[in-house]
Amino acid sequence: MNQELDYLQLVLHASLPVKLVMLALLLASVGSWMIILRKKAMIDRALREADAFEERFWSGADLAALFKELTARGGSLAGLESVFEAGFREFARLRSRRQIDPRAMLEGAQRAMRVTVSREVDRLEQSLEFLATVGSTSPYVGLFGTVWGIMIAFHGLASVKEATIAMVAPGISEALIATAMGLFAAIPAVIAYNRYSNKVDRLNSRYDTFQEEFSQILQRQSHVEDNG
């Protein structure tokens, strides 16, 4: 308990610039953890929904019935459901036209799916740049606070005839807390950014793979109808 009180006193007795640095790092850390928790829930949900949709899609479900079911849900679609809905919707729209080239139908569906994949990946990547910024800059911000605090501590020795380490130790201790806070903010942000970026890349790869496989299914359907 005494140690915690000492740390608090060190923060409270720090100079104003060091306090501002600590406050900025504290806000960055809180913001990072909010994004970390929100992104974890979002990406985990996207992975679960991708698994569930792929299982249903490849189980032999009727595509037209699946499309009607998804469109009935309105704007709650995301991930692979959204990619499938966009591709099938555009394919059906073009198919309803008379004398349209099967290749044009397929290309239109592929364009719609590419746009949807890009939008879904952007949604998953949103705010990750904040984690990258916090992870890369927080140690330097903390170091700035430390350097400033040490500079002030040694500047106070200018008017002292006999300087001892005991005279500057409190000031140096106050300053070093800024470096510790910088690392405290940076380390979780870097770990989360690397982890979530990897998961988003894996989801992006799954979306692209599904897009290609679904395009092959639509291509077969367009040729069957064209031959019929």
- 6-24 per-position pLDDT tens digit: 656 666 666 677 788 889 9
Angle ∠(112,115,121) on CA atoms, nearest 5: 140
For the cut 90, the answer to whether the pLDDT of residue 28 exceeds it is yes
What is the spatial distance between Cα 136 and Cα 130, in angstroms, rounded to a whole number? 10
List the single range of 52-56, 67-71, 171-175 with lowest mean pLDDT: 171-175
Determine the Cα–Cα distance for residues 53 and 160; give it in Å rounded to an integer.
Answer: 74
Give 76's DSSP letter: G
Per-residue pLDDT tens over the stretch 160-200: 666 555 556 666 777 788 888 899 999 999 999 999 999 99
pLDDT of 165: 58
Does residue 228 carry a pLDDT above 70? no
- The pLDDT value recorded for residue 72 is 81
Mean pLDDT of the region 147-158: 71
Q: Is the pLDDT of residue 5 over 50?
A: no
| pLDDT one-digit tens code per residue, 107-121 | 888 899 999 999 999
Residue 45: the pLDDT is 92
Does residue 14 sit in helix, strand or coil? coil
Look up residue 136 and give its amino acid. S
User: Which residues neighbour 105 within 8 Å (Cβ) at sequence distance 6 or greater?
Assistant: 91, 94, 95, 218, 222
What burial letters (b/e) apply to 170-183, b meaning 16+ CB within 10 Å? Answer: ebebbbbbbbebbe
Distances, alpha carbon 155 to alpha carbons 162, 166, 167, 222, in Å: 14, 15, 11, 80
Residues 6+ apart with CB under 8 A from 167: 156, 157, 160
Question: For all residues of the chain together, what is the average pLDDT?
Answer: 82
pLDDT class of 3 with cuts at 50, 70, 90: very low
- What six digits make up the tokens of 38? 């929100």
Q: Which two tokens stand for residue 111?
A: 């364009």
Q: Check: pTM over 0.95? Answer yes or no.
A: no
pLDDT value of position 42: 93
Confidence of residue 32 (pLDDT cuts 50, 70, 90): very high
State the Cα–Cα distance between residues 32 and 34, nearest whole angstrom.
5
Q: 61 is written with which tokens?
A: 């479900």
Q: How far apart are CA 157 and CA 164, in angstroms?
A: 9
When computed from its CA atoms, the radius of gyration of the chain, rounded to whole angstroms, is 28
